[in-house]
Chain A
């Protein structure tokens, strides 16, 4: 057979590509459940790590059974819409560890697409947002973990911000990326960068948060950018800012509820104190 004829070459390459595609499709399908499981576990690890930064006694290492720890620490996990109303519940795995539901990066991407449409003027989509909220109990301290997701330089970047009861103060942050430049943009996942976040406070005005080039100079709602990674830093700042804006209605409501409760407690203790005096 003449292996150099045009017909042979065309048929050969077609068959080769179809066979290769079939093998790859089969492999991808067969391995998908395990890969999804890994991604879920990673999301849980990041949520926990962000929350755990509020307490130096809680450590998460490679050997930690994150699933068990998550089930132990999680108080509530649900979705809210852009107006701060609760929409749906996530399975917290209290009965069955394998049933834990989290919003993975592909879910965050969908929300980010809706956010983009809202920014473009379709304000009625606010109600269709489904933003995940995780409330964890870290040694008696209530920590709310909210994600953020956006475009970096080469690919998506995302992160988890741990917010304290007041709905403004950050207790910790964890970031991750798909394909930022190693040694430059990829540094957003390193401790020296993430370590800047605890203690920072979301701003009240338009600018909730910023990653500032040339130093945040002690500003409460900003951190220093990474030199050599201008675009990644700026995108991250924008991403946090955008997502914080859409979480604000929920965070404000939750914080108001908390302060009402504490006031109520304070009043009741005051009443009791008065009663004691009266007696």
Chain B
């Protein structure tokens, strides 16, 4: 039984229909957690797990959900997943969970999660929904990691906390770009990513 196009469902949200660079959703958290790669990776992973699992659960329930309380049910499912992720992070990677602090809880309000449930999971079979959720999570995470890579490299001279730019460069007058640490630079980097993507994928350009 193959009633959905795997490539279309899973890969489309990663590149052509990327939730951040094409749909421009989830900007808030991508500004906040991309100062360092470590935080960005954990956030990307958390969002992927949350979107995938809540899409799956919502899709399993889709025929039983009363239409009038549809959004509330979605919210409960998403909130459940987010709290579970938060609890697990607190138990296993406490320091990371402290750095991400409120942003983990704010995944609930991330438009990508609810958007995918409403637009896809409620009308599709569970496996297809799981793939769609995974794809969107990965698409979101990919942009987060790219932005965090440049911000940490240029802003702190490190990657995953390890020094990448040698100390001797600083002796010669190289300086970290303090602006990279601040949220506005994330927005500018995002703009650059969207620009590059649109000039490569011409079909995304509006006439």
**A→B interface (CB under 8 Å):** 3-4, 8-9, 12-13, 16-17, 20, 23-24, 27-28, 31, 34-35, 38-39, 41-42, 62, 179, 182
Contact = CB atoms under 8 A, between A and B. Distances in A.
B102 A179 contact: yes
Contact of B87 (A4, A8, A28): A28
Interface stretch (B66-74, B129-137, B164-172, B194-202): B66-74
Given A24-B83, A42-B94, A13 B88 contact: no
Contact of A31 (B73, B77, B87, B102): B87
B95 interface: yes
Contacts of A27: 83-84, 87-88
A134 B79 CA distance: 40
A230 B59 CA distance: 48
Contacts, number: 59
The 8 A-B residue pairs with the shortest CB-CB distance, nearest first, are A38-B94, A34-B91, A31-B91, A9-B66, A20-B80, A3-B66, A35-B90, A35-B91
B88 A3 contact: no
A159 to B, nearest CB: 16
Interface of B: 32, 63-69, 72-73, 76-77, 79-80, 83-84, 87-88, 90-92, 94-95, 101-102
A13 B69 contact: yes
A24 B84 contact: yes
Given A20-B76, A24-B83, A31-B87, A62 B69 contact: no
A62 B95 contact: yes
A3 B67 contact: yes
A169 to B, nearest CB: 31
Contacts of B88: 27, 31
Nearest to B93: A38
Contacts of B32: 182
Contacts of B63: 3
Contacts of B65: 3, 12
| Most interface-central of B66, B76, B83, B102 (chain A CB within 10 A) | B66
B64 A12 contact: yes
Nearest to A24: B83
22 contacts: A4-B67, A4-B68, A9-B68, A16-B73, A20-B77, A20-B80, A23-B84, A24-B80, A24-B83, A27-B83, A27-B87, A27-B88, A31-B87, A31-B88, A31-B91, A34-B91, A35-B87, A35-B90, A35-B94, A38-B91, A39-B94, A41-B94
B64 A3 contact: yes
A12 B91 contact: no
A8 B66 contact: yes
A38 B63 CA distance: 42
Contacts of A38: 90-91, 94
